[in-house]
Amino acid sequence: MQRPAQAPFRTEIQGLRAIAVAAVVLYHFWPNRLSGGYVGVDIFFVISGYLITSHMYREILRTSSIGLLKFWARRVRRLLPASFLVLFASLLAAFLWVPSTVWEVTARQLAASAFYVQNWVLAGDSVDYSAQHNDATVAQHYWSLSVEEQFYVFWPLLVLGLLYILPKFARSKGTSSTVSSPRSILILGLAVVGTASLAYSIAVTALAPSMAYFVSPARVWEFAAGALVALVFVDRTLDGWVATVLGWAGIGLIVGSALTFTAETPFPGWTAIVPVGGTALILMVAGTATPAGARWWLSSKSMQFVGGISYSLYLWHWPILIVAPYVMGRPAGLLDKCLLLGLVVLLSWLTKITVEDPLRTGRFLSTNLRAYSFAASGMAIVLGLAVALTSFAFAGSDGKTAQVNSPCYGPGALNPANNCGPVTGAGVPDPAPAVVARQNKEPLYKGCQGDLSGTDLVSCDLGVEERQATATVALVGDSHATAWLPAIEVLAQRHKWHIRTYTKASCPLTAALRVLPSEATDRNQSDCSSWGKKVEEKLATDTKITTVFTAAYSTAYTYKPAPGVELRDPAEDGFTTAWKGLLSSGKRVVAFDDVPRTNGQYVPTCLAANSRDPLACATTVDQAFPKGTAITHAASTFKSPRFTHIPLRSEFCDAKLCYPQLGAVIVYRDYSHISAEYSRALAPFVDGRVS
């Protein structure tokens, strides 16, 4: 069997790594300046496919197989020491500086990163309505490393499988001569795998772009592209003027995509062919060793230095960028980011010379057993520390408070007659910010609210059993209506009501078409309209329901007339028209005002970061009540003896400020929805208006 020569060190690959890591880091530091810098990850994937396949192919020619245990042990020595170091440092930094509301999701992602499944966690979160607004964590960037590690596990198994299966298949078809060599077998097999992955990537990017970005099958073709270059050009590369032209063309494709791609670019579908193709071109060609060739520039000392520390640079840049604003107490400015970038480079260089290189080549991890023991121990330690971090977030708070009957609890703190002192309450809030924030991930009424898309009526029966109830009431509207359920449940127990819910994400009950600025299509808009008509028909025919409570986040939408419905002012008249329909069917209607807007921050997170100064998270009255609060304006002017308006200004605000925390109760669970605790605290006020 042919014994291949030792593969030469290709300095241009280090230069490619420098371009890749620079693109990613600059994109994360200045996303508006390099809007497509995320393509640097794709460059890394192609390089990995090229190098790993080259190494495996040479081993196959030499030994007719692949030493899997040795192969994976080499990956442990190369990647895990620096990876674990940054995970440990990130966990410590999160504990010291990051608000406790972020600890739970941080711990989950740190553990997922240690086990290299972070990409699947983020893919799941991307389609989870309750997780889509999660704060970025210190470990979020490990998604690409997870994809790479999965590749290192899967790829040698695939290669061995192809070498075993394809010849047997060819012999059964009588075509064994066409796939007789390992090289031809692998080229054919990996081409098929890569093509299938590309087709999947294009399809899933069109259907679920957020998920497509993270899932491994949508990225396999990028590794396959590098692998095919390695196999086709295993003993040669293009040279001469053609190589010079192709090399610069490759650079142009990479730089062009980094400069022109944006967050709106469908990715990683067919558009990823551009940076992947550019990387493949550079790997195919040697080019000239003069300034006329791309190889000369990629092999310069500065590019070799950055390429050499690229792995540590990628690991360190993100947690430093995430933690720095918490340490400084403000967003990072231009000078701050430049200094942070210098710190990242310094840490990366130190990590390479003190951790990466010594543990990769030294005796400490020299045997397979030591390497695997190190990997298992590191994973176990990160998992244990992640569990501890989660437990610290909720320590000392069980979500209940002994102050619930105090006149200064919740909105009572705003009443001057109660002489409550600081309206925010004395001491820390109870329950803790992390407990309140958890309501976003673990809704109290799971399964009781319809999704953003679809027209099916999703309903829950709560309160007193209907046969024992004095009345049946309904709650209708969007997620802000759902947020009022804790208050209505309190009233249901007090008055022996049975409750039926008809709520749907981002869908207020209005005769107008509501439009979300973030929606690219009108599909959800028409779904909401159809859902609203179904709800109105259901309520009109349900004679047991006597009262309908309704609420909406009306400032989140714009409005336009629905087909066949004439509305002078779609924003306000859409609500009043819907209410008139309910009144005509014999119902009583109770409409809540829009809750005051916040400054856009997640309130529990802001309070956790400013535990000594809750007012840092307050909003001025002018900001809290912008023009266009449609449901508030509609309710304040609508007149009917069976219509009740629930004003909310004085229960959240004084003359100057609207508060994030009142009477030791956190008002909002995120940036707009009231917390379950504050909803319950408002039950007596609502009861006074309804009774």
What pLDDT band is residue 353 in, cutting at 50, 70 and 90?
Answer: very high
429 cis-preceded (ω within 30 degrees of 0)? no
| Domain identity same for 90 and 121 | yes
- 632 in a domain, yes or no? yes
| DSSP structure string for 35-102 | TTGGGHHHHHHHHHHHHHHHHHHHHHHHHSS--HHHHHHHHHHHHHHHHHHHHHHHHHHHHHHS-GGG
- 404 in a domain, yes or no? no
- 43 in a domain, yes or no? yes
| Domain identity same for 330 and 446 | no
| Domain identity same for 327 and 475 | no
Q: Hey, is 647 helix, strand or coil?
A: coil
- Mean pLDDT, to the nearest integer, of 176-180? 57
Per 3-state DSSP, what percentage of the chain is helix, strand, and coil (rounded to 5)?
A: 60, 10, 30
| Domain identity same for 16 and 154 | yes
Q: Considering its fold, how many domains does the chain have in total?
A: 2
The single residue listed with the structure tokens 């929606």 is 519
- 191 in a domain, yes or no? yes
Domain extent for 428:
410-597+611-690
| Domain identity same for 348 and 421 | no
Helices (H), 431-499: 433-441, 479-482, 485-495
Burial of 405 (0-12, 13-18, 19+ CB in 10 A): exposed
| Domain identity same for 520 and 384 | no
| Domain identity same for 418 and 491 | yes
How confident is the model over 245-263, as pLDDT tens digits? 899 999 999 999 999 999 9
DSSP 8-state secondary structure symbol assigned to residue 665: E
Residue 600 has pLDDT above 70, yes or no: yes
How confident is the model over 370-425, as pLDDT tens digits? 999 999 999 999 999 999 998 888 775 554 554 667 888 999 999 888 888 889 98
Listed residues 355, 389, 423: the one ending a domain: 389
Cα 646–673–131 angle (5° rounding)?
160
HSE toward the beta carbon, residue 289, CA cutoff 13 A: 2
| Domain identity same for 383 and 531 | no
Residue 157 token pair? 């198994």
> Which residues, 6+ apart, have CB-to-CB distance to 487 below 8 Å?
679, 680, 682, 683, 686
| Domain identity same for 577 and 446 | yes
How confident is the model over 431-470, as pLDDT tens digits? 889 999 999 888 889 999 999 888 999 999 999 999 999 9
Helices (H), 352-469: 357-361, 368-394, 433-441
| Domain identity same for 430 and 385 | no
Integer Cα distance of 101 and 431 in angstroms: 12
- 376 in a domain, yes or no? yes
- 602 in a domain, yes or no? no
Residue 239 has pLDDT above 90, yes or no: no
What pLDDT band is residue 172 in, cutting at 50, 70 and 90?
Answer: low
Nearest CA to 316 out of 93, 98, 564 is that of: 93
| Domain identity same for 348 and 379 | yes
| Domain identity same for 353 and 416 | no
CATH number at residue 658: 3.40.50
Residue 1 has a pLDDT of 40
- 1 in a domain, yes or no? no
- 4 in a domain, yes or no? no
How confident is the model over 613-661, as pLDDT tens digits? 999 999 999 999 988 789 999 999 999 999 999 999 999 999 999 999 9
